[in-house]
Homo-oligomer: A and B are copies of this chain.
Amino acid sequence: MAIEIRKARPADYDGIWEIFSTVIKSGDTYAFDPATTREGMMEYWLTPGMETFAAVEDGKVIGTYYLKPNQVGLGNHTGNCGYMVHPGARGKGLGAMLCGHSIATAKAAGYLGIQFNFVVSTNATAVKLWQKLGFTIIGTTPNGFRHQQLGLVDTYIMYQAL
């Protein structure tokens, strides 16, 4: 497995869009409206102030994540990340790789912690993975997410000190 994780370049944006548009379609894991356009993706995933990374294997983008301050100014020492894996690249441990890379990147950049604001509680695989990688549930938003199959479900706030 030769997967390289590096800063996303404009040449990666088509690949990131393929991942983003496919992943959000199910409406069961991300807040992004399943009908989000490519312009919307650029705003949510590749906007100035975010560092966006691409995981590349054999020249194909198979995963992506972003790192940004979770708050402005006096709260900008806590980072925030989002991760997406191409559905065709599941089962390789790529989610854990991306998260591990983000933790190292955030540490090197001087962040004191990483917070996820919106982990869908019914996404048990993700919740377990983040816990395995050191994150703790620090709060629950009641009915935070309109799950496209299940209706309103809670969302978790998760945190890890660095």
A-side interface mostly:
strand
Contact A113 B143 (CB under 8 A): yes
Bound Cα distance from A33 to B113, whole angstroms: 19
Bound Cα distance from A143 to B159, whole angstroms: 11
Number of interface residues, chain A, beta carbon within 8 A: 37
Q: Is A112 at the interface (CB under 8 A from chain B)? A: yes
Min CB distance A69 to B, Å, is 9
Chain B residues lying within 8 Å of A115, measured Cβ to Cβ, are 141
Q: Is A131 at the interface (CB under 8 A from chain B)? A: no
Binding site for B on A (CB under 8 A): 27, 30-34, 36, 44, 71-78, 112-113, 115, 117-118, 138-148, 152, 155, 157, 159, 161
Contact B118 A36 (CB under 8 A): no
